[in-house]
Amino acid sequence: MKKIEHIGIAVKNIENSNDLFSKLFGKPHYKTEVVESEGVKTSFFKVGSNKIELLEATNKESPIARFIEKKGEGIHHIAFEVSDIESEVERLTNEGFIVLNDKPKKGADNKLVVFLHPKSTNGVLVELCQEIKK
Ligand code: ZN
């Protein structure tokens, strides 16, 4: 793994949270993106070299809706950048980690993503992401 790519925060209302986090960071979000296949609306902030992703559910079956129902708003996942997501999935599977989707899928921000099950990572939802080359 190369570095933390972003931290994902589950929120109930992304417009309200955009206001809140722009006050916190002293600057507005730089992009918004809906990933309909995941049932999420996202917005991204840059803080120095780090990124924060806000996630709002777009429907009741969305993983974000279920997360907020169970745990409330808050940190949802930590995303790590990898250069070769397929070999990273193979390495982690061999190490005994449980992968939620073994085929990388298209996530927000032009990335291929794979999630690891939190029960195999001490309760932390880990996202692996690899930039899609254009
Ligand atoms: Zn993410």
pLDDT band per the 50, 70, 90 thresholds, residue 102: confident
- pLDDT tens digit sequence for 2-60: 999 999 999 999 999 999 999 999 999 999 999 998 999 999 999 999 999 999 999 99
Q: Find the 52 Cα to ligand 1 centroid distance in Å.
A: 9
Ligand 1: centre distance to CA 96 (Å) = 22
**What is residue 47's three-state secondary structure?**
strand
Q: Is residue 100 over pLDDT 80?
A: yes
* For ion ligand 1, residues whose CB falls within 5 Å: 8, 53, 79, 127
Q: How far is the CA of 76 from the centre of ligand 1 (A)?
A: 9
Q: Tokens 């190369």 correspond to what residue?
A: 2
* Token couple for 101: 């989707």
Cβ-proximal residues to 80 (8 Å cutoff; 6+ apart), any chain: 1, 2, 3, 4, 5, 126, 127, 128, 129
From the CA of 108, how far away is ligand 1's center (Å)?
A: 7
What is the pTM for the complete model shown?
Answer: 0.94
pLDDT band for position 95 (50/70/90)? very high
The alpha carbon of 112 is separated from its chain's Cα centroid by a whole number of angstroms, namely 11
* Average pLDDT score over the chain: 96
Could you tell me the distance, in angstroms and rounded to a whole number, from the CA of residue 49 to the centre of ligand 1?
A: 16
How far CA 113 is from CA of 12, 60, 82, 132, in Å, comes to 23, 22, 10, 10
Q: How far is CA 81 from CA 46, 62, 78, 123, 127, in A?
A: 16, 24, 10, 20, 9
Output the CA angle 133-112-78, nearest 5 degrees: 125
Q: How far, in Å, is the centroid of ligand 1 from the Cα of 54?
A: 9
Give the Å distance between the CA of 119 and the centre of ligand 1.
Answer: 18
* Of 131, 11, 130, the residue nearest 65 (C-alpha): 11
The DSSP H or E segment spanning 22 is: helix 14-25
